[in-house]
Structure 1
Amino acid sequence: MIEELLYLALLIITAKLLGEITSRLKQPSLLGYVLAGVLLGPSVLAVYNMTENLKFFMEIGIILLFFLVGFEEIDLPGLFSVMRRKLFLAVVFSFVAPLLIAYSFFTWLGFQHYQALAVSTVVNISSLGVVAKALLDLGRLRHPMGLEIFSAVAILEFVGLIIASIMIQMAVHADASPWELAWIPVKIAVFFVAVSLLGVKVFPALLRMVRRHLKVREITFGLLFGLLLLIVYLAELSGLHGAFGALLVGMALAPLSKEVHYEIAARMHGIAHGVFIPVFFAGIGLLFDLSFIHLPALTAAGFILLVSLVRFCCASASAKALKLTAPLAFGAGMMAKGAVDLALMTSLYHLKIVPKELLSLYIFSVLSIIVAFPAILKISFRKLPPLETEDAREAVMPVYARIALSRIKAREVMRTDVAYVSSTLTVGEFLRSHLDVTRRIYFAVDPYGKLLGVVSLKKISKLPRDLWETTLLTNVIKEDFVKVYPDEDLYSVTEKIVLADTPAVPVVDPVSEKILGTISRYEIVRLLVRKPS
């Protein structure tokens, strides 16, 4: 047990360090996490092997991963609004055509009917997180075609996850009767409705009661995490895979109020991305070996083509047939691979549906696509025709703002021409020398530059004029103001602005508390809507 703690610590530290390195290289951090497992696993250093304790950590990791996917990436109202348009038809063809080709390939390899359907579905799922990061790094996320690709991948990820959940359950219960197999999608729908009612009716009331009567530190997060594990347990008892139970819980809780949504996301991100999700992907790296080099050349080549070129060709052809603006860029976007499909393929391996050789080949293929994807997308955008801003509005979904803003730091967009004044001024001096009708908010600082609060024009308006020359600004400032730090992501900044109902927030140094700049609502909106060049 003591040695296991040492190896687990080494795995976490290596995963986080390599995740940092890959992030600095403009690659997803999950690439670094998987490489950490490959490095420490039997393929390279042979320091650590898969153990039962690690499998338990990985189970928690996949539960949190799928919960956050459902909670943050799947926007059902936005998906339904897009489904009325030709973009949805292009996505359907982009999914169905390679699915049929993959099904034929896997049945040729000897997979049973439902096993072939399950593996084919997983292979054809795209990664919304990877495509969002690549578009953002290329400066194309706010371009109309970037929005179109983003929305298409969001639809594909959602459709793929729902179909995969059904197909995997059918593959596990392949010997069941036709009636029992037909009951699986019904069971998933019933489970989702039940969890949705829990999320809409029960959880908000429970949260209010906890806040009002219970004072134990982090009790809200503890209860939420416990409820998540309980619902996943009930999902497993009902015959559903625990990961899909977590996905449905996330989808059910997603419509909660902005305040509750922000609180849940902030708490979950700390434990999920801090420990369990890195361990999960590092564990996938531990499973990797070079056994796939012994596969028949035709099998290996066909598998790699299914994961990459087949999907690109089918998506491009569908976009061209439906007269979308940039078929090649659309096809390239559909190639994005990442966390969700990698997690599902690992689950298929643990369920003994996929052999070790194919899992290792899939890990190799996905990591290769992740590395090459930004360059492929960049090339596809090179000869992109000009689009009108209105063309992008069909593709915009609310989840886009969340993912786009979460990848921008406050220091990258803050304005440094801050309207701040010394708290030692009198109200009269402030009104004569600093008041500007074009500014709506002023910040008061002490003689050392430390931010003290926001000048309240409302308090000044209530102050008698004969007291203006004797009253210091320290008496008319609001000290309960919202502030953010330079390394906070812009999505959390947006949540704070909305919840505080303020036009702007100050960005302060985390050590000295000196004001560095401001971020306003206007600047955030301008970031999200950019006319194409």
Structure 2
Amino acid sequence: MLLLQLAIILISSKIAGSLSVRLGQPSVLGKLLIGILLGPSVLGVVNETKTLAEFSQIGVILLMFIAGLETDVDEFKRTGKASTFVGFGGIIVPLVLGYFAGSIFHFSMMQSWFLGLLLSATSVSISVQALKEMNQLKTPEGATILGAAVIDDVVVIIALAFLMSFAGGEVNLTAVILKKVLFFAGAILVGWKAVPWFLKKFALLKVTETVISSALIICFVYAYLAEYTGVAAIIGAYIAGVAISVTDYKHEVFEKVETISYSIFVPIFFTSIGITAEFTGISQNLGLIALFSILAILTKLIGAAIGAKAAGFGWNSSLGIGSAMISRGEVALIIASIGLESKLLSQTMFAVMVVVVLVTTIVTPPLMKLFFKAKTQKETRDTRN
């Protein structure tokens, strides 16, 4: 059954992606929507399984690894200020307005802050694919988005630990922060000294494809250690890609990882998002879903865009950056699950926020297309003048 499901997912995602491009949208939008169509919520042709979930996890890790390989380190350094502004702008506005929204619905103070924190999360795995398709990944905007995503992930997780310590959870805030500091310090040191050495030594082994194997080992170890220390696995994979991007093996690794990833794992990741969508019982909460979807989209778009504008980007670029930060993805789902377990989210609000996360994921690619297209057209007009 698994083999048939894989075949259905691959053929459907490729055709849907192609149709999406023909309609002027990023291919990822078609892959997300076909997942919903194939999943149990509509046709029920493909069901969520543990194996598919693991394939999907590998897909998102490889996607962010590729983004790291394509990162221009010098550009990344130059956009540090902009990434900081975008990251914090995209946290503060959703956090504050989410808190006020919770207060309006008579949530407790802790529940309201948790809601704001949940809305502050971001996951740019979907945005990375859209940036690649629009040739924007290696631009200052692309570097800013990736840098802001790292900042967002770290700050939100630390803030979550801080909140949970007040909510009565057994959380050692000092240990949480120390683990993250140790991860990033270790990741940078190992990336600087050990990664080039490991690639060089492993390449000498008398077996086939040693370079790509060594690169994948580095990717998966970084992703595991990131997850172990409370940082998202995709951030670890991204840092691993950046570490390899400054070595002589960059191009060989990129070409082969891209082939492996886009032939099977990445399409499964995009389609699985739609397959896992759960719409049971949402008809009773359509008003809440609409309200919180609008809140989630606008707060992240406006907050991150203001940060980008303050860092010196034009309005079209700022809105493009803001739209890329909208998707909440797996990071928000993890936080929502923590909220449900700790009684900071009711079962109803948990169901609502799961659909809201899906909505933010679906609207991100077309919004990015809209704003980055406007940016490109403006640049073309300015060049002609």
User: TM-score range with shorter-chain normalisation?
Assistant: 0.7 to 0.9
1:368-415 CA-to-partner distances (Å, cap 9, x unmatched) read 34235434555678788986xxxxxxxxxxxxxxxxxxxxxxxxxxxx
Are positions 1:96 and 2:92 aligned together?
Answer: yes
Which of 28, 31, 38 pairs up with 2:29? 31
Q: Summarize the Cα distance change of 1:206–1:190 in structure 2 as closer, same or farther, 3 Å threshold.
A: same
Structure 2 length-normalised TM: 0.77
1:120 equivalenced with 2:115 (yes/no): no
Matched, 1:220 2:211: yes
C-alpha deviation, 1:190, in angstroms? 1.0
Quick one: which amino acid aligns to residue 120 of structure 2? T
Name the CA distance, whole Å, in 2 between partners of 1:103 and 1:76. Answer: 37
Structure 2 residue aligned with 1:465 = none
Q: In the TM superposition, what is the alpha-carbon distance from 1:317 to its structure 2 partner? A: 5.6
Contact 1:121 1:163 survives alignment (8 Å): no
Given that residues 122 and 341 in structure 1 are in contact (C-alpha distance below 8 angstroms), is that contact kept between their aligned partners in structure 2?
yes
For residue 47 of structure 2, the aligned residue among 46, 49, 62 is: 49
In the TM superposition, what are the counterparts of 1:356-435 in structure 2 within 5 Å? 356-375=351-370, 378=373
1:49-98 CA distances to partner (integer Å, 9 max, x unpaired)?
1112212212222322333344434x56534433457x964764455233
Aligned amino acid, residue 216 of structure 2: F
Query: Is residue 98–residue 124 contact of structure 1 (8 Å, CA) maintained in 2?
Result: no
In 2, distance between residues paired with 1:44 and 1:364? Answer: 16
Contact 1:192/1:252, CA 8 A, preserved across alignment: no
The one-letter code matched in structure 1 to 2:285 is L
Distance 1:382 1:270 in 2: 32
Residue of structure 1 equivalent to 2:181: 189
Please say if 1:81 is aligned against 2:78: yes
Higher relative contact order (CA 8 A, sep 6+): 2
**Structure 1: tracts of 5 or more residues without a match:** 388-530
Aligned residue for 1:308, secondary structure, equals helix
In structure 2, the partner of 1:276 is: 265
Please, what TM-score do these two structures have when normalized by structure 1? Answer: 0.58
Match of 1:4 in 2: 2
1:294 to 284, 302, 312: 284
- Work out whether 1:304 is the aligned partner of 2:300: no
Matches of 1:235 and 1:369 in 2, distance apart? Answer: 25
Letter of the 2:145 partner, please give it.
Answer: V
Structure having the higher helix fraction is 2
8 Å CA contact retained: 1:117, 1:167: no
- In 2, Cα distance between the equivalents of 1:162 and 1:33? 29
- Residue 204 of structure 1, CA deviation: 1.9
1:334 aligns with 2:321: yes
Q: Are residues 1:266 and 2:236 paired?
A: no
Q: The residue matched to 2:182 in structure 1 has which SS?
A: helix
Q: Output the CA distance in 2 between the equivalents of 1:316 and 1:195.
A: 30
Deviation (angstroms), 1:286: 0.9
Residues 1:21 and 1:176: Cα distance change in structure 2 (over 3 Å)? same
Percent identity over paired residues: 23
Mapped partners of 2:92, 2:361: distance in 1: 20
Q: Which has the larger radius of gyration?
A: 1
1:50–1:287: 8 Å Cα contact kept in structure 2? yes
- Is there any run of 5+ residues in structure 2 with no aligned partner, and where? 341-348
- Give the residue type in structure 1 aligned to 2:272: G
